[in-house]
Amino acid sequence: MTIIYKVLGQASPAASTNTDLYTVPSIVSAVISTLVICNRGAASSSFRVAVRPAGAAIAVQHYLMYDTVISSNDSLTLTIGMTLATTDIVTVLSTSGTISFSLFGSEIA
């Protein structure tokens, strides 16, 4: 078993656009350790984070955070410790388009 520690994904999605931040590759599982959300804008904004098992279409039960407000020029760091299986997808959305998402963790092959 090989464990690779890495940046799993980074994105700055357009406003109100669901964006896949990370998809677990074939024959790999993953552990998410940290998610950093950064609002680069001059106004407060909100965001969403969802995990879609096996690439399922997004549904209400997938949300970890929903319309969570982040202040202007602020960052939020979440220590998660979540395991994901092959083809699971982390999806993010920003209401303003001024939020950056960075996902850190490891892949296990």
| Averaged pLDDT for residues 68-89 | 96
Q: Examine the pLDDT at 23 and tell me if it is beyond 90.
A: yes
Tell me the one-letter amino acid at 24.
V
Neighbours of 52 (CB within 10 A): 19
Q: In this predicted structure, what is the pLDDT of residue 1?
A: 84
Does the model's pTM come out above 0.85? yes
Which structure tokens are listed for 20?
A: 């896949």
Angle, CA of 16, 17 and 22, to the nearest 5°: 135
The residues, any chain, with a CB within 8 Å of residue 22's CB and separated by 6 or more, are: 8, 9, 30, 89, 90, 103
